[in-house]
Amino acid sequence: MKLQSGITVVKNGQLVDGTGRPAVPNGAVIITDGIISYAGPAADAPPAPPDARIIDAAGGTIMPGLIEAHIHLTYFNVSELQDLDIKFPVEYVTLQSAVNAKTALECGYTAARSGGCLHNIDVWMKKAIEEDMIPGPRLSTSGREICGAGGLMDWNPDYRRIGMEGIVFIVNGPEQARGAVRKLVKDGIEWVKTYPTGDAASPDINDHHTLCMTFDEMHAVVATAHNHGLKVTGHCRATEGIRNALKSGYDAIEHGTFMDDECLDLLLKRNVPMCPGLGFELFSVQRGKEFGLSQRVLDGHQETLEAGAESCRKVLKAGGTMGLGGDYGFAWTPHGTYAQELTFFVNYVGFSTLDTITCATLGGAKMMGRAHELGSLEKGKLGDVLVVAGDVLKDISLLENRDNLIAVMQGGLVKAGTLVKPASF
């Protein structure tokens, strides 16, 4: 991805640097050839040369670009599980994914970690973004997911004679689990996404207390993935699924809904990051009815919402690592509404705005394994900066409205925001 050459100064706003440190009331960020060379009080900033490009935060907030820690670029307008697979051909899903990537960047998300995709679209989306062919967040890729036979993602009845071609490998036993990972190794992905547990979306046979993979299958996935330098994560709601994931060596946990004390200890022992993806539960409860979700499904989402919020509070209190985001692309949580996750964490879960921003920036970068170059405004990191009109610490919901974004910057280049409206990429 291109870097802005020369010197850019972002000033005239409070600096929220993403590390969790208190805001600097009058801050400045200096970006030299795309890399941050200074971030701190404006009064201490080195003098800028006369030809420096100036970005005026207009008394608002200067913060790191947001990081979506569990994005599905290939999901759009999903209203039931069946919409996730081969509802559309790969050609159309690829185009839609490119649109979603552009939308994410325009919403202030300069990086994103995939939570799974159809076919092998992430890998090629990442290449297109990195080569500046299309605009989008710096991407950490996933691929087709892995689920045990009869589990959450194995929904086509056998009499239809349709496999799960797009989204998932259905595996029976460790040998098939290894085979699926080996396919993914060849695909070139970074994260192997698995389904250790079910979900409220499937109340009859795979609800949120059901296991969808055995420990042996999960361990086979981890051993094979780690052998080839890939990382493993999983959709973990039931307590035993979380425990199995942590004991078998998972590198991250998605959701972590029913986290007991033993799981929390295991999580902290290896500092395994977690992406709760929790807003989805509340938005499903609030808006699911109009999209035909049954009362049983809604009740399940209510249960996972409450348990998930408690888990998040426990993990935060214990000093664990969390990224924010998750599962946008459903009909009631469309792409472009990602930042409501942050408002939800402040208003519903009870996180402070500063903690919420830290999770949504540096937390996401840690989950991506790129905290050395992304996620906070510190010297030596990439100039991925978000400039927002207004005081985000007072009102986090400002981030939900793209009109409040003055500049969305990657490597010092202004890619979106009111400074370049309409998008000039």
Indicate the residue among 30 and 307 with the shorter CB distance to Zn ion.
Answer: 307
In the complex with Zn ion, the residue whose CB is nearer, 106 or 327, is: 327
**Closer of 10 and 167 to Zn ion (Cβ):** 167
CB of 326 vs Zn ion, minimal distance in Å: 6
- When the beta carbons of 153 and 386 are compared against Zn ion, the nearer one is 153
Work out the widest C-alpha separation in the chain, in whole angstroms: 72
Closest distance to Zn ion from the beta carbon of 70 (Å): 6
d(CA 351, CA 19): 15
- Cα dihedral value 402, 328, 19, 21, nearest 10: 60
Q: Give the shortest CB-215-to-Zn ion separation in angstroms.
A: 22
**How many Å separate Cα 141 from the centre of its chain?**
11
Cβ closer to Zn ion: 34 or 363? 363
Is-contact 51 95, C-beta < 8 A? no
CB nearer to Zn ion: pick between 68 and 327: 327
Minimum separation from the CB atom of position 119 to Zn ion (A):
16
Helices 239-247/215-227 angle, 10° precision: 40
In whole angstroms, how close is the CB of 324 to Zn ion at the nearest point? 13
Binding site residues, Zn ion, CB under 5 A: 115, 327
Residue type, 230: L
In the complex, least distance from residue 39 CB atom to Zn ion, rounded to whole angstroms:
33
Nearer CB in complex with Zn ion: 23/360: 360
Minimum Å gap between C-beta 71 and Zn ion is: 9
Label the pairing between strands 53-64 and 385-388.
Answer: antiparallel
CA atoms within 13 A on the CB side of 163: 8
User: If we measure between CA atoms, which residue out of 404, 368, 301, 315 comes closest to residue 140?
Assistant: 368
Cβ-based neighbour number of residue 351 at 10 Å? 24
- Which segments of 35-190 are extended strands (E)? 35-41, 53-64, 66-71, 109-114, 138-140, 145-148, 168-171
Please give the Cα distance from 176 to 45 (Å, whole number).
Answer: 57
348 three-state secondary structure: helix
Could you tell me which of 338, 348, 336, 268 has the C-alpha nearest to residue 308?
A: 348
* Structure-block tokens of residue 278: 């929790």
For the bound state, the minimum distance from the C-beta of residue 420 to Zn ion, rounded and expressed in Å, comes to 31
Nearer to Zn ion, 17 or 254 (CB): 254
Bridging pattern class, strands 168-171 and 138-140: unpaired
- Provide the minimum distance between the beta carbon of 327 and Zn ion in the complex, in angstroms, as a whole number: 4
Residue at shortest CB range from Zn ion = 115
What 3-state class would DSSP assign to 316? Answer: helix
- Would you say 84 or 266 has its CB closer to Zn ion? 84
Residue with tokens 């078998």: 248
Query: What angle separates helix 215-227 from helix 173-187, to the nearest 10 degrees?
Result: 30
Q: How many CB atoms sit inside 10 A of residue 133's CB?
A: 11
113 vs 366, which CB is nearer to Zn ion?
Answer: 113
CB of 158 to Zn ion, least distance (A): 26
